[in-house]
Amino acid sequence: MYGIIDADNCYVSAERVFRPDLEHAVVVVLSNNDGCIVARSNEAKALGIKAGTPYYQLAQQFPNTKIAVFSSNYELYGELTGRIVSLIAQEVPAYFRYSIDECFVYLDGMNHLDLKQWGENLHKKIKRYVGMPVSIGLAPNKTLAKMASHFAKKYQGYRHCCMIDSDEKRIKALKLYPIDDVWGIGRRYAAKLQALGITTAYDFAQHHKDWVRLTFNNINIVRTWQELNGEDVVPNEELAKKKSICTSRSFNGMIGDIETLRTHVSNYAARCAEKLRMQNTVASIVGVFLNTNAFREDLPQYWNFQEQRLITPTNHYADREPSP
């Protein structure tokens, strides 16, 4: 059994730890240069505030609304989420930090417990000791666990922990889950699936494996299909030492300023450093690649790659933290 523990509205929740008076207020967090919105409270989302909205447009779009605005504080976010991970480490046989606000856990040997209750108790423990809410998804594989965490976050009735532990629950979840939200699909393949009339995870899972293989010719998409059908096939690559490590993501929307781009690249570099530390290795070369959206034929395209050899190999993303 796998689990994923996801901090709810991570940056906003971290700010609220020291401002409990903002518990039900409209709160947004800005990018490094205070250029645009990178995080929103549920109240801000309900109001219609979009991620990526330029800060100067807030007053224009919501002139009569009181909005609490914070500059991003990544040292604070890293410190608080590090405390969350330290609590998780006390509760599970093994874990893998997937991002600044998400952590996969492996629950082998814990089948004697009521895992649903265990998850609810873990949420309470983290909320009590750190002050930040989390949502927990439990399932027989990582893809379904990610799906379960979505339901735990969306529906209060789950009490912050949703477990998919039967075919009946799995099928019900697949029917409710949009294909473009499935972990491992991505926007490009989601668009192709939607063009084929596949709008939910269930629609996709109902196709034959050979159709998936021939249509996409991509082993990761095939593995996603297998996991949606209950198999556990996504490899636990974090348990094996790698000769190279890469963290890459598609950005959520257009990015037009260098500071927002710098923020994303810094976060990805920090994630690579975490992976290095987990396998007790160091990097001697660091590279950054960037390419624009090839599907925007109305815009000019760009691609570039730069790398730098380090004088002293390291597994930390800040000079103040020397490698052991």
Cβ contacts of 278 within 8 Å, gap of 6 or more: 96, 97, 238
Q: Strand (E) positions, the chain?
A: 2-7, 27-30, 37-40, 68-71, 94-99, 102-106, 134-139, 161-163, 283-291, 303-314
Residue 43's pLDDT band, with cuts at 50, 70 and 90, is very high
Cβ contacts of 43 within 8 Å, gap of 6 or more: 24, 25, 26, 27
Per-residue pLDDT for 320 more than 70?
Answer: no
Burial class (CB in 10 A: 0-12, 13-18, 19+), 184: middle
Type of residue found at 126: I
Per-residue pLDDT for 236 more than 80?
Answer: no
Percent of the chain with pLDDT over 70: 93
Lowest model confidence (mean pLDDT) among 229-243, 261-275, 295-309: 229-243
Of 11, 9, 28, 35, nearest to 254 (Cα)?
35
Cβ contacts of 235 within 8 Å, gap of 6 or more: none
| 60 or 291, which is more confident | 60
Two tokens at 101? 């606000």
CB 27 within 8 A of CB 68: yes
Two tokens at 125? 């423990």
Per-residue pLDDT for 49 more than 50?
Answer: yes
SS3 294: coil
Could you report the per-residue pLDDT of 130-174, keeping only the tens digit for each?
Answer: 999 999 999 999 999 999 999 999 999 999 999 999 999 999 999
DSSP characters over 188-252: HHHHHHHHTT--BHHHHHTS-HHHHHHHH--HHHHHHHHHHTT---S--GGGS--S--------S
Could you report the per-residue pLDDT of 62-105, keeping only the tens digit for each?
Answer: 988 999 999 999 889 989 999 999 999 899 988 888 888 999 99
Cβ contacts of 269 within 8 Å, gap of 6 or more: 247, 286, 317
CB 180 within 8 A of CB 190: yes
Number of Cβ within a 10 Å radius of residue 63: 7
Type of residue found at 308: Q
Tell me what the mean pLDDT of segment 249-257 comes to: 73
Of 62, 96, 70, nearest to 9 (Cα)?
70
The predicted pLDDT at position 321 comes to: 44
* HSE of 122, CA atoms in CB hemisphere, 13 A: 30
The predicted pLDDT at position 324 comes to: 44
Residue 264's pLDDT band, with cuts at 50, 70 and 90, is confident
Residue 50's pLDDT band, with cuts at 50, 70 and 90, is very high
**In the predicted model, what is the mean pLDDT of the chain?**
88
Buried b (16+ CB within 10 A) or exposed e, 142-154: bbbbbbbbbbbbe
Number of Cβ within a 10 Å radius of residue 33: 15
Burial class (CB in 10 A: 0-12, 13-18, 19+), 130: buried
pTM tops 0.95, yes or no: no
H or E stretch at 127: helix 115-129
CB 60 within 8 A of CB 103: no
Percent of the chain with pLDDT over 90: 59
